[in-house]
Amino acid sequence: MDVTAQDATGVAGAGRAKKVGLVSALAFAVGAMIGGGVFTLSGTAIDRAGSGALISYALAGVIMLFSALSFVAIAARAKPDESGYGAITVLLGRPWRFLVMWGFYLNALAAVAFLADSFGSYLHGYFLHSFTTIEAGTVCIALLVGLNLGPAVWVGRAETWVVAIKLGLLLVFIGWGLSSFSPAHFSPFAPHGSTSILTTSALLFTAYTGFNVVTNIAPSLRDPEKTVPRAVLGAVLISVAMYMLVVVAMLQSGISHFGLAGVSQAANHLMGSWGGQLVAFAACLSTLSGANAVMLGGSEIALRLVVDADIPAFFGKTTKNGFPWMSVGLIGVIALVLVRFTSIIDVIVLCNIVALAAMVIVNASAAVLAHRGFPGSGYRIPGGPVIPIVAGIACVVQFFSYSLVQLGAAALAMLVGFALYAFRGYGRNLSTEEAREKLRESIRDLETPLGRALLHPFLHRHIPALDRSN
């Protein structure tokens, strides 16, 4: 079936022949990963570790890359109609698979709040001074909820164009910074000591989450045995390269202290006021784009948890047109609470801890899979269980960078999920099963907001050769 012939709203029942291509999956993963992690966290990382922030980003990226191999191996063995984490049920048990998905759902909640706050910082600082950061972040969340409940054409067009624009503008800034390159800007390399490099690395994991947009829908990808590893690893590698190049460019500005809008500060110094405005515009687009992709991914996880009867069917309520208003709205409400009543650092920490917990479980699952000889025809991690074990240990070590209060808050959030999981069977009736079956059909036919956006003909009209080549 030629997806370009599909109507923007999709045709019910026709989605069984639909498949998502490499470019669509890669664009959404990169869109989710390159946002606040570069435009907000890069300045914070340099403030904390100096030039050593390069090692911090690289270390976090390597750990995430090793863990990504585990995700690829697990997702490539997902059965039709499952999420990409389905194989964990066989390897470790259903509760562990639930914990992974719940962890990434919490990660999405926190990431949307963090990105909305980042959006607010740039909008307030460079364009709408009358708006406070919190007010601008609130507007951002409202826009995202409306966008994800609207026609898929908006989502597909917005994500594709914004990813291209923000990468292009970042490359302009990077090129300008590299043209002023001087080794003197890297001295002293670690002004706050080597420990600061490690603690800063622990703060940066949220910069690399987002590729789970791909693992969420692994069975719906065209040729998943090739597309899953290419999209996941490609997104991680692109993000690592962009983050490190941005840090190098920022260091060339000679600024000793950066605020939350650090990239624009550096651009203003290197390129003039027009450069600061240009990068601030890219930051607003980028954080909005990243939050959009993360919200799509989080909503998709919630729907799959409902379909698997892991959480009450109430969370899968949809409109008459099939839009999951409850899952999208819930992400928006919780993100709004986090933006208005918590600090951005607290949100980042929560985002990191729950993601690390989920990655530990995925790495453990991949180690078991390797021990069993990687049955089936899916991706095989080089070296057997070595990489998953090393990645899992590296994730566990990161927990020591957080306080007991921070770890306790994240554990409490995970326990809320367990409570929902424990009571998922209560009140089950025919209407509940019918609702789950309706959602199951929507997921199978790629008639969720994420599926509609990824398959929108706009993507395929502009990059048909690339998207079909895989």
**53-73: buried (b, 16+ CB within 10 Å) or exposed (e) per residue?**
bbbbbbbbbebbbbbbbbbbb
Residue 108 · residue 331 · CB < 8 Å? yes
* pLDDT in the model for residue 416: 92
Mean pLDDT of 119-146: 85
The predicted-structure confidence for 136-185, as pLDDT tens digits, reads as follows 888 888 888 877 666 545 555 556 677 778 888 889 999 999 998 888 88
Q: Which amino acid is at 82?
A: E
With b for 16 or more beta-carbon neighbours within 10 A and e for fewer, the 158-184 pattern comes to: bbbebbeebbebbeebbebbeeeeeee
* Predicted pLDDT at 342: 83
Cα 444 from Cα 219, distance rounded (Å): 9
Quote the pLDDT of residue 1.
34
pLDDT attached to residue 173? 92
Q: How far apart are CA 258 and CA 240, in angstroms?
A: 21
Angle, nearest 10°, between helix axes 344-371 and 386-398? 160
pTM (2 d.p.): 0.83
Other beta carbons less than 10 A from residue 237's beta carbon? 13
CA distance 249 to 254: 10
Crossing angle of helices 224-251 and 262-271, rounded to 10°: 60
pLDDT at residue 375, as a whole number: 87
The sign of the torsion formed by the CA atoms of 148, 121, 169, 167 equals negative
Going by C-alpha positions, the residue among 214, 245, 225, 205 that lies closest to residue 64 is 205
pLDDT tens-digit readout, 6-55: 343 443 344 444 677 787 788 778 877 887 778 888 998 999 999 999 99
**Alpha-carbon distance 465 to 470, whole Å?**
9
What value, to the nearest 5°, has the Cα angle with vertex 205 and ends 199 and 207? 125
pLDDT digits (tens, 9 = 90+) for 281-337: 888 888 887 787 788 788 888 888 988 888 888 888 887 766 788 888 888 899 989
Mean pLDDT to the nearest integer, 395-405? 90
pLDDT of amino acid 455 = 66
CATH number for region 18-425: 1.20.1740.10
Instruction: Report the pLDDT averaged over residues 220-249.
Output: 87
Pair of tokens at residue 444:
């199978």
C-beta separation of 72 from 229 below 8 A: yes
Say what the pLDDT of residue 369 is.
95
Q: How many CB atoms lie within 10 A of CB 44?
A: 20
